[in-house]
């Protein structure tokens, strides 16, 4: 089974949702069915700087969040990113802040 993992940073949640919806077909019963196999994890506006706390757990400084909407995807049996996704691919040199259990992003990302 061919598997690739990709990380994306979309301009907004809405932009991601449009592209996500395009990967589905609504059947005659009204169910939204994926057109092929994939697993999507929305990380959202990820944390760029962690909050700091004192020894009692009270927050000293707040977290700083990305303005982009971040998404990790496991694609099955795909040769490349789906149409419209590649422009938002983020090519990391580390595993990043999220992973799929037992799978290395660096070993499974698409060849650039």
Which residues lie near other proteins (CB under 8 A)?
1, 3, 25, 27-29, 31-39, 41, 43, 50-51, 53, 55-57, 59, 63, 72, 74, 76, 95-103
Which of residues 29 and 111 has its CB atom nearest to other proteins in the complex? 29
Which of residues 24 and 86 has its CB atom nearest to other proteins in the complex? 24
Which of 99, 72, 53, 88 minimizes the C-alpha distance to 6?
72
Determine contact, residues 48/66, Cβ cutoff 8 Å. Answer: yes
CA distance 56 to 86: 45
As measured in angstroms, the least distance from the Cβ of 110 to other proteins is 15
């Amino acid at each position: 089974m061919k598997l690739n993992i990709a990380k994306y940073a979309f301009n907004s949640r809405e932009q991601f949702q449009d592209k996500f919806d395009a990967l589905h077909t609504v059947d005659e019963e009204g169910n939204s069915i994926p057109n092929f196999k994939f697993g999507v994890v929305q990380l959202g506006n990820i944390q760029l700087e962690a909050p700091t706390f004192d020894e009692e757990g009270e927050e000293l400084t707040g977290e700083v969040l990305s303005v982009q909407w971040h998404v990790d995807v496991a694609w099955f049996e795909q040769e490349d990113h789906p149409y419209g996704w590649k422009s938002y691919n983020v090519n990391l040199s580390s595993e990043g802040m999220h992973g799929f259990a037992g799978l290395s992003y660096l070993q499974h990302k698409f060849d650039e």
